[in-house]
Structure 1
């Protein structure tokens, strides 16, 4: 393969990566959620969602309601992984109708998230700032690939290297 072909392969790889990033950023703008797609990593929401299901999120205009399934992240909890649970209680603060206190629980969990210790110490309620999005759809089991890649990081790097080698060594038509 000559230098020109290698350069073209590198440019094509850059186009693929750039296209994926543009699609991701467009989804963020369209849904209003910082992470419009997440993978369920635990069994806390079974039988509604299983480990490996891909969830699609949207930041709704109307306030959160009891029964909504949300994805939230609490800063300072020591967990960087978003949590998918159902809202079981919502309280409006008297001082401001836009301020909500929210309590969540996994459908498959015996206790609410505050009692179970999923909220950081001192946090009794979630607020709208903790919510990354409301679940609006899902694809079952497709996210298992992500779970396998996280459980076995060497496999992830081997796959990336193999795909890169295929792209760089393939011939243009």
Structure 2
């Protein structure tokens, strides 16, 4: 649980101490922003560090792992690399391993992951249909 005991000391501080604490806090926040913007410039990526939200990349990456991204246009994508996709209108990045390189551009890459994350009912419907298929299918 979040403890706000440090706020009890605020009325006892004089103006100089309070001003020092506010300036200290602003320096910490501005330092973090400068580091983030510096990483953006160095890596060429608008999100240089992302958190993996699902376990779909296991065993290489686990849910909650931090990924350090670069965006070097001169390096072509190779099979076996990890690619991060941004779909217009979506805030969440999609992380996939490159299995095959196609010459034709496909606009629905990752749509299954998006649908299952955004619409939990769709996920359960797919699982129900797969379970029904397994039970009905004879071989």
Deviation at 1:56, TM superposition (A): 0.7
Any gaps of 5 or more consecutive residues in structure 2?
1-12, 116-139
1:30-109 equivalences in 2 (<5 Å): 30-60=42-72, 61-76=74-89, 79-92=90-103, 101=105
Residue from 108, 112, 118 that aligns with 1:117: 112
Give 1 or 2: higher helix fraction: 2
Q: Is the 8 A contact 2:94 2:110 kept in 1?
A: no
Q: 1:20 — aligned with what?
A: 32
C-alpha RMSD of the superposition? 2.5
TM-score by length of 1: 0.52
Q: Is the 8 A contact 1:87 1:102 kept in 2?
A: no
Any gaps of 5 or more consecutive residues in structure 1?
94-100, 104-112, 121-173
TM-score by length of 2: 0.64
Runs of 4+ in 1 over 3 A off after TM superposition: 113-116
Larger Rg: 2
**Structure with larger RCO (C-alpha < 8 A, sep 6+):** 1
